[in-house]
Structure 1
Amino acid sequence: SDKFPSTTSLWLVLRKYEDGVAGSGQRLNLTQRGVPSSESGAGRMMYEQPCLQIMGRTLETFEDLQKSLAQVGLNSGSVLMRLSFKRSGQPLEEAMQEISKYFVSAQSAEPAASAAASAQPTNDGPVDRSVPNADAENAAAPVEGAAGKEPNEDVPMTEGPTAPVVENDVLASSSETPAQPGSEPQQQQQPSNTINGISVYRPPSSGTPAAAQMADDPTGFEPSIDQAKAHQAAIARNTRNQRLLSDKELEEQETAKRERLTTVQSVQVRVRYPDQSMIETTCAASETGADLYTKVRGTLAASGDELFELRFLGSKGQQTVPDSSSVRLVRDLGFRGKILVTLAWGQDVSPQTKQGPSLKEEYRSRATDLKVDLQQQQRW
């Protein structure tokens, strides 16, 4: 990794890494690669074109690589560039002649790159003034001495996919569970694991999470254009001084929050037991913490005297659902959408209860495996 002014062209970035001026200092061959071609005769070298992937865009022509960082939307912050090579089908000597039309030669680029490294960061190597068959929008980085006089023109960028937000920090794996009790298609898919209006799921068969067994998609580590813009906007916001909210503004926020909660009719609560089995039930907005404890207690294989707690991750961090009929799940605890609740045994619970199955036999016999669409979640 290294730092470059926004007026630096993409080609010059490659040349600096190639000459060892930037990065680890190791000299590389990035812009003059050749591979033998069996189709054009023995000994004929074909040019390998460098291709840069930046924020979901692929820049693979000489005109594209002539653009500056600012012209591709990189004015500040950090960005990941992925370099690959493809066969251009063009003889190496012809490609070298074409390169000389757009960029300075390799002999003049090396001292220019060295001078740029020893000077201030804004002094980039010069780019050839004469650009045949290239319009003004795709012009190279400004020549030395002209940087900062005229702003670079913006280049229209293709919008990348936007990741949808999972509301209230809920497990994405619950996307297959019915959103409403009356959803007929979902009920037809999972009729066998429902008892007393409660869906039951077995513990996972493997100690390794299914997501950990799946190979990572390299494209998932590349930020989209929207994500890069949001990151830069967040950095800009953090550089500005912000005052504390007044009492009136805090009261308005609380009022708006209460109004949003009044629109919630029901929530789906998924309870995870100590043996990793799970149930899912629908709770009305009027139900209280005591109602939830009663539902969970009715599924336990242990006697009703065993103490346990129901914990969830709320707006204030890890919280405990109180076993009280005066605390409502939606209005007081802020439950919305789909909520994951974890059951934890009390300190005085017997070892047999802790080590044995958590659910009653009638629930365990109806349990099914929880199927998760890992491909869809990886796209998210």
Structure 2
Amino acid sequence: MNRRTARRHAVALLALLTALLLAFAGPAAAALPSAGTSGPHRAAPTVTVTFRTVPAVAGVRLAFGGQTLVTGPDGTASYTGTRTADRQSLQLLDTSVNTPDARYHFTRWAGQRDPEQTFRSRVDGLPLRADYTITAGFTAQYPVTVAFTDQHGAPLDPSLVSAVKVRGSDARVTDLSVSGTTWLDGLVPVFRNSGLTAVPVDYTLRSLVYDGVELAGAGRQGFRPGPDRHVTFTGAFHDLTVTAHDALFGSATGEKATVTDPAGHVTTVPLGPDHTAVLAHLPRGRYTVEVKAPGGSSNPREIQLSQAVTADVTVVTRTDVLVLAGAGLLLVGIPVAIRLIRRTRRTAAGPAPGTGTGRSAAEPPEPAPAEEPEQPEGAEKAPPTSRHGAAAR
């Protein structure tokens, strides 16, 4: 092949390549915007923000990014929008949601990034540059009704129940309605491990006042709202039997018994022929018992009624008083009588021998000296005579 032929082939091949390039580049060139005109840009990246409630609450409305969102049955809703550096606001439109079985009240946020806005219903300054989740915590309340029985299951009269108090595991004490419904916190949102967890609240009976008497043993009866919506509280009741006996002789005695219950109520009941009375179905607690008898009574006796109890009361009767008085007279009177008898005998016998003169009983009294006859003046005085009549020499 000479050089001219080769050049001809090269030109033909070049023309073919040019035609091919124009065939493929034509549609692409038509799609390109001409100078001085605008066209669509490449799609901007999007961001998704997820909203959830703890516990899951359906039907909660939120406003975000110019849209109103509503949580579904799983308690979540989401927003997808173009990524932007502009800060966004989130408004919780429903702070309370009520259903026949539960009541939900907004408590706090998690994931809102600003601690100052944790407990507000509106959160400002939220980013929209990456996907994230923000959580709204709700406190769930459940209805609770109560009933009352004794330890054997017999129902108690609710009209005699004046107070029922329960203490939650959150340390709060709440009064329950005796005849109606009380809504108690059953789930509370707790911040743990950078998120919210719904924690159940347990309750224990703290006080049950029946007919003025405290029946509850604090902390012994518990329940959890939600699973436990009808709660039965139990109070302890026991029988008190009153008997009495004589203090000295031990025989049965007594006409009536007076019983004071822990609330200060006083009940008087007669004792039967066997000097016994039974007070049935009394609330547990400390009682005071007194017994009256003819001419006497007992001292108050305290009884702790924590089971069926028989209170045997000691009574001081009129007979006991007379016997004790007679014994006292004997003990005091006999020594006094002995002393009186001795004194009477000494008085009747006169003064005791040897008393008053200083002489013995055998020594006769000394005779009085005889008077000497009066001598005439100038006469010689007669010499004295001895005891035997002889003249002194």
TM-score computed with the length of structure 1 as normaliser: 0.19
Structure with the bigger percentage of helix: 1
Q: Which has the larger radius of gyration?
A: 2
TM-score computed with the length of structure 2 as normaliser: 0.18
Structure with the bigger percentage of strand: 2
Bigger RCO of structures 1 and 2 (CA < 8 A, at least 6 apart): 1
